[in-house]
Amino acid sequence: MASISTICFSNSYALARSKTTKNLPRNPNPKKQKLKPQTSKFKSLPDPLILSGGDATTYTRLPPREDFAVPSFDFTLQSSKEVKLSESATAKLDKDEEEIPVELSDGEEIEENVEDGDIGLNYGRYEVFEVNSDFEDEEDKEGDYGYGSEEDDTGEEEDERLSSGKYDNLLESEGEEGNVKEKGLPAVMRCFDRAKIFVKAGDGGNGVVAFRREKYVPFGGPSGGDGGRGGNVYVEVDGAMNSLLPFRNKVHFRAERGSHGQGSSQNGARGEDVVVKVAPGTLIMEAGTRAVLLELLHPGQRALLLPGGKGGRGNAAFKSGNNKVPKISENGEEGPEMWLELELKLVADVGIVGAPNAGKSTLLSAISAAQPNIANYPFTTLLPNLGVVSFDYDSTIVVADLPGLLEGAHMGFGLGHEFLRHTERCSALVHVVDGSSQQPEFEFEAVRLELEMFSPELAEKPYIVAFNKMDLPDAYEKWSSFRESLQARGIEPFCMSAINRDGTREVICTAHKLLQKSEEAKQKFGGWTSPLDLNRVADMVNKQRSASLTDFEISHDASSKTWHVVGSGLQRFVQMTNWRYTESEKRFNHVLEACGVYKSLMKLGVKEGDTVIVGEMEMVWHDTIGSSGSSNVKKKSTGSIRWPQWK
């Protein structure tokens, strides 16, 4: 029978069709029919990102102080050696080599004498280094997170770059400065503290229509069971994790859907939950908007992120005095889904910062049991290392050793300064200064400036300065002038030889005291912000689910003669309606009338033949066709909705 004649409402009849399905028979598969969950709040994908053009990306040597504001990218003028982090995270710089060929952009090779400039700080020529966030994000979307983003309008050139595949290897392309290499960070560094994942709660199982048929039980009645609830999505802090790298391998987390109900009043089983494990200190944000949803700091914390969909009711649940043989059941509610951005900010008490090769990792290895890579070349440390320092039996602190920070890091030189976010949770900082460098004061200032550039709050954290490598005569000689210059600024520096473990204890004990002081101050001034409610996202979802059916808005598009009836409650109701049963359609019509949709539409001037969209259902409005059989007198004389023909 054609759908038009099977769907009758109180005083008229209506026809429905899916917005997405054409020529659907009367008994369509409910899953495929047309109903999508209301996920407008959580489904947003990030906006398309625009790639920036060719910023210079090759760093030749630490630029002179006065050049800081406008660094020179003309590296043909600068003497240098080359470290290619692209080839190996532990590429080594042979500092003893005096002359090396420098390859120019046009392929010409020259021999240059490697000598320090006026400043004399020769870190070699480091390559790597486009840390433009837009670019990085775009890479992440396409390369590592495994989902295609909407096409952006940045032009073919950028598209080509994106489509050129994974960015695990560093990229090379021409920049605006002309033939300057542009490279991204190795994937392991990008993914260490950032990830983008997809989570979906399980859909509820469908309810069923069944009747008890048994010998000696002539009218057994309806016995269709309810569907089971969909599985929840939880996020749990795993103390054994210290990075977000596992999310490179797994991006999608879907909880199981609930089982469908069965005859004999058997309800479906619950869907299995899914638990997403993250490292302590992970920030969970909604992708695109980057609104912070959760901040998970302590191992063992577990947050309910997305609750599973409710199971649909079987026909046994619809039995009433009026209707003892209900032929109606509901679909399971669809579980919400969303893309999340995860960002890790390590939970450490003290952060060790300083220029590359200053001896930060050596200090960490001297004061804790951590065994970071230590070597005589810059950027040995590419990812932060954590170490635990014990003072008394009951007092321990966590110390983070960070990658080296270069002057100009805020512009992308070196490893950039993004990793400084790992110090945001530190209460104190230790500046390690390489005493054997040509101008230790300048090195210290450059690092301070970079901290300020990253975040003024970070620069305001209490800190101590540790002048390292005192065992070297070079450093020993410079110590007094360094000390004087800092004392003139009101800073009392410490000296140490991290490699010999001389003075390291004093440094870390002072850092510990600073830490205690800042914690006392925090308690005194109530500076500790209350942690976010762990289940707030689930609460938001539940609130949206329980929205009233009468809570809706109507908008009109005059050009297409379309009326949109939008409301969370109605949308959910449409999604859970199982259209294969005639009674469902009657119920739908009844609900629209009862919650005032018809009345509002008529008030707003809906006309014969206009399209009305409720949730995912599209209908055509028809004025009253006749009053016969109508149980609603008011409605009879005014209008009704008729389901359109399937197109």
Residues that bind ligand GTP (CB under 6 A): 354, 356-362, 374-376, 378-381, 403-404, 468-469, 471-472, 497-499
Question: Cβ 381 to Mg ion, closest distance in Å?
Answer: 3
Cβ closer to ligand GTP: 318 or 467?
Answer: 467
- Write the DSSP symbol of residue 211: B
Cβ closer to Mg ion: 58 or 381?
Answer: 381
Sheet of strand 396-401: strand arrangement: 385-390, 396-401, 350-354, 428-434, 463-468, 494-495
Cβ-count burial of 329 within 10 angstroms (0-12 exposed, 13-18 middle, 19+ buried)? Answer: buried
Three-class SS state of 496: coil
Cβ closer to ligand GTP: 14 or 433?
Answer: 433
Cβ closer to ligand GTP: 200 or 431?
Answer: 431
- Give the one entry of ligand GTP, Mg ion, none that residue 27 binds, where binding means its C-beta sits below a cut-off of 5 to 8 angstroms depending on kind: none
Residue 253: C-alpha distances to residues 194, 309, 339, 433, 541 (Å): 17, 15, 10, 45, 18
Q: Which residues contact 340 (CB under 8 A, 6 or more apart)?
A: 196, 197, 198, 199, 284, 285, 286, 287, 293
Question: Cβ 498 to Mg ion, closest distance in Å?
Answer: 11
Residue 475 tokens read as 């450093």
Question: Cβ 433 to ligand GTP, closest distance in Å?
Answer: 10
Question: Cβ 191 to ligand GTP, closest distance in Å?
Answer: 20
- Of 428, 436, 259, 291, the closest CA to residue 353 belongs to 428
- Give the one entry of Mg ion, ligand GTP, none that residue 181 binds, where binding means its C-beta sits below a cut-off of 5 to 8 angstroms depending on kind: none
Cβ closer to Mg ion: 275 or 374?
Answer: 374
Cβ closer to ligand GTP: 49 or 91?
Answer: 91
Question: Cβ 503 to Mg ion, closest distance in Å?
Answer: 19
Residue nearest to ligand GTP (CB): 404
- Give the one entry of Mg ion, ligand GTP, none that residue 331 binds, where binding means its C-beta sits below a cut-off of 5 to 8 angstroms depending on kind: none
Cβ closer to ligand GTP: 282 or 468?
Answer: 468
- Of 352, 353, 508, the closest CA to residue 446 belongs to 353
Question: Cβ 518 to ligand GTP, closest distance in Å?
Answer: 24
Q: What kind and span of H or E run contains 582?
A: helix 582-594
Question: Cβ 136 to ligand GTP, closest distance in Å?
Answer: 21
- Give the one entry of Mg ion, ligand GTP, none that residue 523 binds, where binding means its C-beta sits below a cut-off of 5 to 8 angstroms depending on kind: none
Question: Cβ 32 to ligand GTP, closest distance in Å?
Answer: 56
- Give the one entry of Mg ion, ligand GTP, none that residue 311 binds, where binding means its C-beta sits below a cut-off of 5 to 8 angstroms depending on kind: none
Task: Decide if 640 contacts 11 (C-beta within 8 A).
Answer: yes
**Residue 544: half-sphere exposure toward Cβ, Cα within 13 Å:** 23
Cβ closer to ligand GTP: 427 or 468?
Answer: 468
By CB under 5 A, name the binding residues for Mg ion. Answer: 360-361, 380-381
Cβ-count burial of 545 within 10 angstroms (0-12 exposed, 13-18 middle, 19+ buried)? Answer: middle
CA atoms of 334 and 336, how far apart (whole Å): 6
